[in-house]
Chains A and B, each alone.
Chain A
Amino acid sequence: MNKIVKLALILFLVSAIVAGVLGGIYVVTKPTIDANNAATTAKAYSEVLPEGVAADPTASEAIGETVDNSGNSVTLVSVTPADDGKTYVVETSAVGSQGTISMAVGVDSETGTCTGIAIIASSETSGLGAEASKPFFKDQLVGCDTTAIHITKQGGTVEAITGATITSKAVTNSAAAAIDYVMNMG
């Protein structure tokens, strides 16, 4: 009996010391980590908007609505009005081929077109799905409305990435869902 108590005590002590050290490191690194995340989001926001237009990520309004768009279930995370009064940034998340793809979509509410997309986080295959963040793919979505923004197989104008149709679809369907949401916001 004594032995068990002694073992438990030692294990408890080791765990307590490790937990203490980790707590310290967490407090030290937390502000930098938060600043990094905020910078990533801010950069994505400025990428999707036309030049000279800005949106403040801290002013975003949470949506938390899941819609089904052409076979992809897309979660609309938040919407942020930009300072030109007609453009909005919508954050979406949808399932790609390897995991969730979080992205920001810029939507012009007057013309109902996409002003740009930026991928905030994804775990798509490097060299295939991960190419979605490269200009050759995502620039095709700029200026598209909800019909044109789909990949060619679905009747749109976007050339899908070779070998990464699932990712291409997830991205275009998310963008289409974002435009739909903004246009029906009223």
Chain B
Amino acid sequence: MNVKKQFKDGLITNNPVLVQLLGMCSTMAITTSLFNGIGMGISVLVILTCCNVVISAMRKVIPNDIRIAVFVVIIAGFVTIVDYVLKAYIPALSESLGVFIPLIVVNCIIIGRAEAFAAKNSVAASALDGIFQGLGYTVVLCVMCIIRELLGKGTFGGGILNGGDGIALFGSNFQGAMILTMPFGGFLTLGCLIALMQYALRKSKEKKAKEEDK
């Protein structure tokens, strides 16, 4: 078990959104205010960690032929639990994320990590994988939210700060590029982020290769 490598994998080198390109749908749809980004990120983190732990613990009992069906049942169970809990205790978040909470069932990050990691590794390693991959997802969501909110509406921290309206950084008359808060803007922002990430990853790889040459 290599905690440091897992941490780096989840946040950078194998980031679920920017490198594995998983969970695109929710990333595009909900990143319009920081409140949504943090809420969705933490929901996925919790579900991913719970599912990884349970699936990893059961990996020797689940027959190979029906493993996907069993994974889906377990994932759907945890998602529904989170859905009920949010509805009961954080109704504002549940209202704002709407159908995207139940849709975590089909979020490919979760089934992807179950199949690629939890089904082959120990419980502790799977739990860590869930936490770090979830963190990686959350960080990307928050960055997307901050960019889209700032350029689209001129505010920061929508849904949490300043009574839910967010802090207007450019004064209250700022019109903003409305297009960024729409799905089109989501594609644009995500595309730029992926390009940046690939550039940075390649740069660090080249640097490493050069050092090895010496």
Query: Which A positions have Cβ atoms within 8 angstroms of B?
Result: 6-7, 10-11, 14-15, 18, 21-22, 25-26, 29, 32-33, 36, 40, 121, 123, 125-128, 163
A25 and B33 contacting across the interface, CB-CB below 8 Å: no
Shortest CB–CB separation between residue A129 and chain B, in angstroms?
A: 11
A163 and B178 contacting across the interface, CB-CB below 8 Å: yes
Chain B, 66-110, contact with A by CB distance < 8 Å: what is the 0/1 string? Answer: 100110011011001100110111010001001000000000000
B181 and A36 contacting across the interface, CB-CB below 8 Å: no
B84 and A36 contacting across the interface, CB-CB below 8 Å: no
- C-alpha gap A15/B66 in the complex (Å): 12
- Of residues 11 through 51 on chain B, the ones whose CB sits less than 8 Å from some CB of chain A are 32-33
* Interface majority SS (helix, strand, loop, mixed), chain A: helix
Shortest CB–CB separation between residue B117 and chain A, in angstroms?
A: 20
- C-alpha gap A25/B24 in the complex (Å): 30
Shortest CB–CB separation between residue A78 and chain B, in angstroms?
A: 21
Number of A-B contacts (CB under 8 A): 59
A127 and B65 contacting across the interface, CB-CB below 8 Å: no
A32 and B81 contacting across the interface, CB-CB below 8 Å: no
From B70, B73, B88, A29 is in contact (CB under 8 Å) with: B88
23 residue pairs from A and B, CB less than 8 Å apart: A6-B63, A7-B63, A10-B66, A10-B70, A14-B70, A14-B73, A14-B74, A15-B73, A18-B73, A18-B74, A18-B76, A18-B77, A21-B81, A29-B84, A33-B88, A36-B87, A36-B91, A123-B98, A126-B181, A127-B152, A127-B182, A128-B178, A163-B178
Please name all residues of chain A whose beta carbon is closer than 8 Å to the beta carbon of B91 when the two chains form the complex: 36, 40
Check if B57 is an interface residue, CB within 8 A of chain A.
Answer: no
